A and B are shown apart, each in its own frame.
Chain A
Amino acid sequence: MIRLQNISFDHCIKCTVCTVYCPVARATHHFPGPKQSGPDTERLRIKSPELLDESLKYCTNCKRCEIACPSNVKIADIIQSSKWRYFKKSLRPRDFFLAHTDLMGSVATRASLLVNFFIKLPPVKLFLDLFFRIPSERRFPKYARGSFLAWYKKHRAEQEAFAERAVYFPGCYVNYNNHELGKDVVTVLNAMNIGVIVSYEKCCGVPLIANGYIDRARKNALLNINSLAASAAESGARIISASSSCSFALKHEYRNLLELDNSAIFDSLDYITRFIHERFLKGNLPELKPVRLRAAYHSPCHLERMGGVMNTIEVLKKIPGLDLTILHSECCGIAGTYGFKKEYYRVSQKVGAELFKRIERADPQIVITDCETCKWQIEMSTPYRVEHPVTVLARSIDGGKL
């Protein structure tokens, strides 16, 4: 049965502009491009799932096709939903581990030293490569000790004392890998006289969606919608996230791809730099100390799709001393868990090659980007360190070393 909201493929006029701007189609001829994998073959798949073409698995869900489309076709959504509508569920242990970031995180953070040590050992890498098909070249993000939530619990009372508060969804990366970024969010918002209420129920679902665990993603999404809505209702606060992909999922993937009703949180959701920038414009600008660095800013695909890039740029422009180069918008290639799969690793690196070249040409002291997986990809593939815009802003506030 065709549901009415899912026939946007009928608006496709076959102009092929999406394929022009598809980073994967540019990198490999094995991917026929978003037009063919999306609207063209969707009508065939509706007729008979046997007409499914495996090649659509190459899609990274970066959404650049949707930005390019003059006819407003939700091309990436069509491809993404076909992945789980028509393919058999993956039974690969690797995909299970990559998809369940919160489960892995809660185990790994209990023995982070051990995990971080082992995952770097060449025999372990070889083992992962041979038996799990995780490429040995791929570097893993380090796990932190304990969780960000545990840290936050100790500071909750002081945060609740602020008259204005914002609900913060930290996501798996901050909770299990990078507590410092979460603390930086607190530093920045506190300097603007805003308290931080952390609300974190489950992984936003991005890796689950990418690996076909749709039922799990829906369950997580419902839990998140309910808990975020409850936290926001209590204080009438905005809901913010400092991960561009978590933000994108909470706002758009829940609604368009998982077909859930997220209207209880939709209007209050902000990616963090929009939230900060709007307050800057209203005059709530904390005192900023110079950060004398040459920096290159890379805009992640999902932030491009959400239309939030200009906010990050405007916030960064406020930081005195920061010598900022805005890199031409290019996909870094990692696409979340995509670049962790051996079958896609080469494509992933080829997609990113153009960005890496541009970074080297800019020759910065640091690279700034809003997305954690872009950070992993750039740090692995170039000699440069990557920081989140909020971290840079936090150092400008507390005068700490970057």
Chain B
Amino acid sequence: MRYDCVIIGGGLSGLTCGIRLAETGASVAVISTGMSALHFSSGSIDLFGYNGEGRTVYRPFEFLDEFVGSNPRHPYALCGARQVREALFYFRGQLDLEGIELYNNDESNHFHVTTLGTLKPTFFSQRSVFNEKIRLAFEKKSMIAALNFEGYRDFYPELAVINLRRNVLFRNIEIITGKIVYPDYGDPQRNPFEYRSVDIARIFDTERYLEELAVQIRNAASGAAFAAMPAFLGISNFKRHHKLLQELTGLLIYEIPTLPPSILGMRIDNALKSRFASLGGVYIAGDTVTGGSISGERLESVVTENGGGSALSAGSFVLATGSFFSGGLVSEFSRVREPVLDLKVYSDAERSRWYAPEFFPRRGHPFLEYGVETDERLNPKTGDGRRVKNLYCTGALLPYYNPIKEGSGGGVAVSTGYRAAELILEGNS
């Protein structure tokens, strides 16, 4: 099989790149081992949340303008601040076409609430997490009701509220807790351990109980302006449910991202896949690229586990396989390795320096900054030092940035994916 471009890795970065390329009429295949890290994400897109001292960044683009100058190896510097902006707003436009509206607080970050009641700075969120009305109601210090569904084990509103009350932003805001009982609770009770976000989201998608739930939510919220609930409002029809529930209750319905599987993240995953498919992209799920053949400065083809020896060749390739969690990087006892092509990796030979002794170190764990070393064109080198000019590395696979410490994972994935597509298109024209 031959494609114009083969993208290895079907997450946020790979799909952003795939959509940009497929949009130009190129034939693109994305190969993905299992479902992507979007299923574990908040469903908001972070750009830059914390500076080097760990303080919150309020205006991320302004921050970036200076930051890229003094951090030339950072993935954002490889893209350039201007293209980071272009990439993020391109991404928003593509999701818009699939019915997901992303909201930003103009040039500023906004916060989303976590299951534990902490706040995370982020740039884009879905309507149920951030919009103008939510901002205004919050500024007015309106009362908040944190609600849970009885039997749902992955959210404890009481715990979340303790943490929220500690936060200076929530001073003088009244927060109450309450619970809602699913009208159909008798059925899933047989397997209470599997009463997870997706089970509830599916019941929402049937729309059978919306009116009944609205009454319960209104009662449990007793006078609050917000009803904050775990993100369950459905996977396919969430926009409609959100609107209906807000109308029926007269409340602002706020979604808190849950433990995996994250419904907010899955919505983005679905939208990206659907957009990619509608542009004629081929998404090969459940297969793993096991190696490739490089001749000279070019990667000619790759082989997969299911391919039965037949190779996939392409004019250009993108490696967007993620970091350790997604298998893009593998740690052995005394070395970090890139498993597909054994590319040159930035890491530390001394294992004891890979991590900090604390679980949440202020400076972050060094291993999070390891990855495949590239030049400014995102081209990596092979283990023996040869540059591969038609292979572009993007997303969490890249080194010299720390997505946790910086709060920059989503933005780096989107902008380097977009950057790779632009480089490929430039090369072709």
Contacts and interface: CB of A to CB of B under 8 A. Distances in A.
B251 interface: no
A17 B34 contact: yes
A72 B327 CA distance: 10
The listed residue with most B CB atoms (<10 A of its CB), out of A17, A66, A305, is: A17
Given A21-B35, A26-B202, A278-B310, A307 B191 contact: no
A147 interface: no
A20 B39 contact: yes
Interface in A1-29: 15-17, 19-21, 25-26, 29
A281 B1 contact: yes
A33 B285 CA distance: 20
A16 B198 contact: yes
B39 A71 contact: no
A35 B308 CA distance: 28
B282 A70 contact: no
A70 to B, nearest CB: 4
A20 B193 contact: no
Contact of B286 (A26, A66, A71): A66
Contacts of B284: 307, 310
Interface string B94-106: 0000000000000
A31 to B, nearest CB: 8
A50 interface: no
Nearest to A306: B306
What interface size band does chain B fall in?
35 or more
B1 A36 contact: no
Contacts of B382: none
A398 B88 CA distance: 52
A247 B161 CA distance: 55
B207 to A, nearest CB: 15
A181 B308 CA distance: 25
B260 A16 contact: yes
Interface of B: 1-2, 29, 33-37, 39-40, 187-188, 190-191, 193-194, 196, 198-199, 202, 260-261, 266, 282, 284-288, 304-310, 325-327
A33 B325 CA distance: 23
A19 B196 contact: yes
Contact of B198 (A20, A29, A30, A267): A20
B306 A32 contact: no
A321 B299 CA distance: 36
Contact of B39 (A17, A67, A274): A17
Given A29-B199, A70-B35, 5 more contacts: A16-B196, A68-B34, A306-B306, A307-B304, A307-B305
A36 B191 contact: yes
A296 interface: no
A367 interface: no
Top 5 A-B residue pairs of the complex, sorted by shortest distance between their CB atoms: A67-B286, A307-B306, A70-B34, A32-B191, A307-B287
A305 B284 CA distance: 10
A33 B34 contact: no
B286 A33 contact: no
B260 A17 contact: yes
A267 B309 contact: yes
Contacts of A20: 35, 39, 198, 261, 266
A314 B2 CA distance: 11
A374 interface: no
Interface in A31-55: 32-33, 35-36, 55
Contacts of B1: 277, 281, 310, 314
A36 B193 contact: yes
Interface string A49-81: 000000100000000001111111000000000
A310 to B, nearest CB: 6
18 contacts: A15-B39, A17-B35, A17-B261, A20-B35, A20-B39, A29-B187, A29-B188, A29-B191, A32-B194, A33-B191, A69-B35, A70-B36, A72-B288, A267-B309, A307-B304, A307-B306, A310-B284, A314-B1
B201 to A, nearest CB: 9
B194 A72 contact: no
Interface of A: 15-17, 19-21, 25-26, 29-30, 32-33, 35-36, 55, 66-72, 267, 269-270, 274, 277-278, 281, 304-308, 310, 314
Nearest to A14: B260
A269 B34 CA distance: 24
Contacts of A70: 33-37, 39, 325-327
B141 to A, nearest CB: 37
A33 B33 CA distance: 20
Contacts of B39: 15, 17, 20, 70
The main secondary structure of chain A at its interface with chain B is helix
B86 to A, nearest CB: 30
B52 to A, nearest CB: 31
Contacts of B40: 15
Nearest to B2: A281
Contacts of A310: 1, 29, 282, 284
B194 A19 contact: yes
Contacts of A68: 34-35, 285-286
A26 B198 CA distance: 9
Given A270-B308, A306-B306, A19 B285 contact: no
Contacts of B307: 307
A198 B286 CA distance: 31
B194 A33 contact: yes
Contacts of A30: 190
B269 to A, nearest CB: 10
A66 B199 CA distance: 20
A304 B260 contact: no
B188 A16 contact: no
Given A30-B190, A68-B35, A307-B286, A19 B198 contact: yes
B286 A304 contact: yes
Contact of B310 (A16, A55, A71, A274): A274
Contacts of B308: 267, 269-270, 274
Contact of A304 (B36, B282, B285, B305): B285
A16 B261 contact: yes
Nearest to B187: A29
Nearest to A271: B308
A69 B194 CA distance: 17
A19 B36 CA distance: 15
A378 to B, nearest CB: 21
Nearest to A313: B282
Nearest to B304: A307
A308 B304 CA distance: 12
Contacts of B310: 274, 278
A35 B39 CA distance: 15
A15 B304 contact: no
Given A270-B308, A274-B308, A69 B34 contact: yes
Contacts of B282: 310
Contacts of B325: 70
B395 to A, nearest CB: 15
Nearest to A305: B286
A270 B307 CA distance: 10
B210 to A, nearest CB: 20
A133 to B, nearest CB: 23
A67 B40 CA distance: 17
Contacts of A19: 194, 196, 198, 261
Nearest to A252: B306
B233 to A, nearest CB: 16
A15 B1 CA distance: 33
